[in-house]
Amino acid sequence: MIDKHLTCTECDELFPDYFEGELDEARRRMIETHASTCARCQGVIRDIASIQQTAANLPELAPSRDLWQGIEARIQPTVVAIGERRDGHGLSRRMLGLAAAALVVISSSLTYVVARPPASGKKPAPVAEKPRSSPTTVATNATEPGATPTTPTAEQVDPAAARPSALETGARVPSVRNATRSARTSLVSASQLSRAELALAPEIAELQRTLNQKRAELDPSTVKIVEDNLALIDAAVRQARAALLRDPASGFLTEQLDNALQKKVELLRTVALLPSRS
């Protein structure tokens, strides 16, 4: 086995483990012996090593599903707010009571957002009703039977929620100070960001920055296509978020929002790796 001379094809099969450092010493030596007399395999090793080196130098991105940053942003500000004292203006018992109440509400909202079960786990078992006659047309957004179906815009559903969020504009997730201010002004806003939004925000912001840096290198028509499609996805995010505010327990709407956000990440990743025009 140790004396065996490898072919290029055999090397190809062993390369993944070779580059992962998972080959035993004997096989590793066999590859290197082969490569010492094979320009092709030498080239492969050189190029992959170069790619590994380049990849190692890329900026680190936060994991997509790391919830801690979002949780931390909502736990810390409240603690800071309670602890903040201005000289000569100590908080009254009443203010402390209100702050404590706000903390409870915010924490409850956060806990609910983070801990609620995934969509698939909470749909009620189907219960059959009287079947409709065939063919069937269902206007799903009508409030009364027979009402004209309409498709509400995000603004119609909830004008405030339909505004672009920091996430969509590529800004970082709200800072501790901003989160504190946000929590003070609106208790609803504490639960506006879904788990997916919290988790994906850093990556989206990073990729958005990459797009901004890369814009000049790309063909203008490509940039337009990308921006048009990002706008479509952002609109989908806003609409799903607005609907979710109306029905926070909806697994379907949560999934719609998650899907739209995931699409945004995928598109931005694509753009980050697009070849430049020259």
What is the size of the binding site for another protein (CB under 8 A)?
67
Q: Smallest gap, in angstroms, from Cβ of residue 254 to another protein?
A: 11
191 vs 207: CA distance, rounded Å = 25
CB 254 within 8 A of CB 194: yes
Nearer to another protein, 106 or 240 (CB): 240
Q: Smallest gap, in angstroms, from Cβ of residue 199 to another protein?
A: 15
Binding mask 52-81 for another protein (x = CB under 8 A): ------------------------------
Q: Smallest gap, in angstroms, from Cβ of residue 66 to another protein?
A: 16
Cα–Cα distances in Å, from 139 out to 145, 150, 236? 9, 8, 21
Is residue 88 near another protein by the rule CB under 8 A? no
Nearer to another protein, 184 or 263 (CB): 263
Pick the stretch among 88-96, 163-171, 178-186, 259-267 that binds another protein (CB under 8 A): 259-267
Q: From 238, 70, 253, select the one nearest 161 (Cα to Cα).
A: 238
CB 201 within 8 A of CB 131: no
Q: From 40, 53, 36, select the one nearest 12 (Cα to Cα).
A: 40
Q: What does the block give as tokens for 112?
A: 């609910």
248 vs 110: CA distance, rounded Å = 12
Is residue 2 near another protein by the rule CB under 8 A? no
Pick the stretch among 73-81, 163-171, 193-201, 249-257 that binds another protein (CB under 8 A): 249-257
Out of 26, 50, 96, 104, the residue judged to bind another protein by CB under 8 A: 50
230 vs 232: CA distance, rounded Å = 5
109 vs 107: CA distance, rounded Å = 5
77 vs 80: CA distance, rounded Å = 5
Is residue 210 near another protein by the rule CB under 8 A? no
Is residue 182 near another protein by the rule CB under 8 A? no
Q: Smallest gap, in angstroms, from Cβ of residue 29 to another protein?
A: 21
141 vs 152: CA distance, rounded Å = 9
Q: Smallest gap, in angstroms, from Cβ of residue 13 to another protein?
A: 13
277: burial class by Cβ within 10 Å (0-12, 13-18, 19+)? Answer: exposed
Q: Smallest gap, in angstroms, from Cβ of residue 133 to another protein?
A: 7
261 vs 68: CA distance, rounded Å = 18
Q: Smallest gap, in angstroms, from Cβ of residue 186 to another protein?
A: 21
Out of 1, 140, 146, 185, the residue judged to bind another protein by CB under 8 A: 140
93 vs 86: CA distance, rounded Å = 15
Residues that bind another protein (CB under 8 A): 9, 39-40, 42-44, 46-48, 50-51, 123-124, 126-129, 131-141, 143, 149-152, 219, 221-222, 225-226, 228-229, 232-233, 236, 239-240, 243, 246-247, 250, 252-253, 255-256, 259-260, 263, 266-267, 269-270, 272-278
